[in-house]
Structure 1
Amino acid sequence: MRRILTVLSLLLLTAAPLAAQPAQAAQAHGPGAPLAIRGADVSSLAKSEALGGVYRDALGRRADALRVLSQAGLTFIRLKVWVNPADGYNTKARVLAVAKRAKAQGLKLFIDFHYSDTWADPGKQYKPAAWEGLSLDGLRQAVHDHTYDVLDALRRQGTPADLVQVGNEINGGLLWPDGSNANWANTAALLNAGYDAVKRVSPATKVVLHLANGGDNGLYRWWFDNAAAHGIRHDVIGVSYYPYWHGTLESFQANVNDVATRYGKPIVVVETGYPFTTADDDGWENLILSPEPYPGYRATPQGQAAMLAKVADIVRRIPNGLGLGLFTWEATWTGVPGNGWDPADPSSGNAWENQALFDFADRPLPAMAVLGRV
């Protein structure tokens, strides 16, 4: 029965309009049924492996990290795309290679376009260097062509994207200053160019719009009310929720329940995470150092697993079956020298390895098995 319900959930995701099937989705997410999306962002994987990173199974045997994730029960991976990054990773060619491996392991594919040469998030939405001199119309064409180029290459390779994120944590818009939501018409033009490119490659692929600060209901109402007023097209609402940054679990639950009900769109937590230790593995200070970053959840393997299970339970309880699932962020970003934050600086380190799904001995943590069955 568990296997049948899993198949039903995935069919709902890929074969029907997500927001049009609340009854079926609610049934598929009933008691004991796993969420359709049980995913991990693995954008760091290719560079980690190139620099000597190793991943092991529970018995300590060297293994393909994607195979380990798939065998644990995960259904999706997420890969970011930069335009022309300094280190040559997270490009179309790198994404194509990892996508081929992932699909061979039975994993579905979520593509995250940053529309930048480096990190795009609420604090920075830098244009790619090659797009710096473009007009708004030129930027709109560049967004369309870049999006189409990557997705069409994936389709022609036989590894099509199942979900696509147009922009990353676009609280303040994208491609600043032109696409800042100080001018919503500009924001809409750029986002709709990406949406049109996705649908031109595959009308069935679902487009996600992604905000951070998952416990901030005021932000989400303001943003998606404006999106509706300016005709910004999308299929799914994506949320970042890190419990040590983005408010209480209760505020997160209240927000996603309200957003799903208010806009009638499916919700997916596209980024979450939690530490399994306060220790460091690469000599670069980690972002989260507290032994108990959120009350009641210690920075231990058990605490990490319990937090992921709690976030998943909140998603499962979103009204009308509109909670699709969740992704833990950068599950494979282990402490490998050279695989640091700054693509332009090989000496930079990784501040995230204490939140990966592989421990400092490169073995899967309990949270991986929990995520595989939520």
Structure 2
Amino acid sequence: MPNQFLKGMDLSFVDEIEAGGGSYYENGERKDILSIAQESGVNSVRLRIWNEPAGGFCDLERTLAMAKRIKASGMHFLLDFHYSDRWADPANQWKPKAWEGLDFDGLLRAVSEYTVVVLSALRDQGTSPDMVQVGNEITPGMLWNDGRVDGEHDTDEQWGRFAALVQVGVAAVRETIPESEVMIHIDRGGDWPSTRKFFERFENLGVEYDVIGQSFYPWWHGTLEDLRRNLKATSERFRKPIVVVETAYPWTLNKAEGRAFIVEREDQLHAGYPATVEGQAAYLRDFIAIIRDTPDGMGAGFHWWEPAWIPSQEEWSVGHPNNWSNLTLFDYEGNKLDSMDACKSER
């Protein structure tokens, strides 16, 4: 298990924001975001890595640079392999363009070799990740369509192929950085039946890993009580530490300069938690307490997804506008919100 309760932030956009002129402030003073986060109780940073992203951020070169900053701060480092040139999530698990023409054996070799190359580069500069995700929200499989397991692809043959792809990724982590923990991450934080189905299939297929990762967003995944029930059932059935590696909650519904938001309506909110800084802080405190209450200490921590994605520029390398800037832990100008201090809570 992780040797500390992880109170983490996914800061994958920070490199791009800073390059585009964005800055972060605490009490009116411009500061390094890692210092702000650490002083607020954060002890882990998560970074995604894409193979050859069109925008030039979240690739190996930029990940190496960010990893130096994380390790210099002394914080835990979680690396999230998407195995894609762009977002990998339940609706998008598309293989990198360079791998599109490979047969299945070639794809297995590509996953292994790429994982080794990335981790070797991080290790050789003294910034080995403490934990590695082999895939991101891989509930429907990964590297479609070879490793796809949703809908009509939900067959024993496809699950075998999917498992093989994950297994070579896990083996590459073990080979290159044996001290790193391996996470398998799905997006069913409030859904025990789907969680059970996924990890029982992996259990039966012999997929070996250390940590279960979940995503939990209330507007998609249910209530905090749904999360509590799932964490309890998952911990009792699979006996693995669990990190809720993605969550967020709005601090406002007031739009900045007419921008679109993913969460923009009152009916998307969790009962009892208004879209205010105080409501966001209450959500975070209660969310942390639920994870800590997971039986036998199996609730190993959390990461807030992109708390620093402020609307500092119009164009983004990801190809769409920032629809997340009311789900951050900073206001639109980059000022830290008091809600981040909920990370200092021991409950």
How far apart are the structure 1 equivalents of 2:344 and 2:144? 38
Query: What are the Cα deviations for residues 124-161 of structure 1, in whole angstroms up to 9, with x where unaligned?
Result: 11110000001111111111111111111111111110
Compared CA separation, residues 339 and 318, structure 1 to 2 (3 A):
farther
Root-mean-square deviation (CA, aligned residues, Å) is 1.4
Q: Superposition pairs for residues 1-374 of structure 1, below 5 Å?
A: 13=2, 36-57=5-26, 59-181=27-149, 182=154, 183-281=158-256, 283-291=258-266, 293-338=269-314, 340=316, 343=318, 345=319, 348-374=320-346
Q: Could you tell me which residue of structure 2 aligns to residue 25 of structure 1?
A: none
After TM superposition, the score normalised by the length of structure 1 is 0.88
Q: Does the 8 Å contact 1:198/1:207 carry over to 2?
A: yes
| Alignment check: 8 A CA contact 2:310 2:333 kept | no
Structure 1 residues 326 and 271: CA distance shift in structure 2, 3 A:
same
Structure 1: 5+ residue runs without aligned partners? 1-11, 15-34
In structure 2, how many angstroms separate the alpha carbons of the residues matched to 1:142 and 1:302?
47
Secondary structure of the 1:245 match is helix
Deviation at 1:226, TM superposition (A): 0.4
Conserved? CA contact 2:312–2:333, under 8 Å: no
SS in 2 for 1:357: coil
Distance (Å, rounded) in 1 between the aligned partners of 2:114 and 2:60: 10
User: Helix, strand or coil: the match of 2:230?
Assistant: helix
Q: TM-score with structure 2 length normalisation?
A: 0.94
Alignment check: 8 A CA contact 1:282 1:349 kept:
no
Deviates more, 1:280-289 or 1:190-199: 280-289
Larger mean CA deviation between 82-91 and 138-147 belongs to 138-147
User: 1:50, 1:356 → 2: CA distance?
Assistant: 19
Q: SS at 1:353's partner residue?
A: coil
Q: Distance in 1 between matches of 2:96 and 2:11?
A: 22
Relative to structure 1, the CA distance from residue 300 to residue 264 in structure 2 (aligned partners, 3 Å threshold; closer, same or farther) is: same
Aligned equivalents of 1:215, 1:164: Cα separation in 2:
23
When the two structures are aligned, how many residues end up with a matched partner?
A: 338
Q: CA deviation at 1:281?
A: 2.8
Match in the other structure for 1:26? none
Q: Distance in 1 between matches of 2:89 and 2:257?
A: 25
- Give ranges in structure 2 of 5+ residues lacking alignment: none
CA shift for structure 1 position 75: 0.5
Shift of 1:331: 1.2
Q: Go from structure 1 to structure 2 and tell me whether the alpha carbon gap of 1:114 and 1:242 turns closer, same or farther (over 3 Å shift).
A: same
Give the letter aligned to residue 358 of structure 1: F
Report runs of 4+ in structure 1 exceeding 3 Å deviation. Answer: none
Structure 1 position 278, deviation (Å): 0.7
Taking the aligned partners of 1:71 and 1:177, their CA distance within structure 2 comes to 44
Higher mean C-alpha deviation, range 286-295 or range 327-336 = 286-295
SS at match of 2:234: helix
Looking at structure 1, the residues matched to 278 and 315 of structure 2 have their Cα atoms a distance apart, in angstroms, of: 27
After superposition, what is the alpha-carbon deviation per residue over 1:297-336, rounded to whole angstroms, capped at 9, x for unaligned? 0010011111111111111011111111110000110002
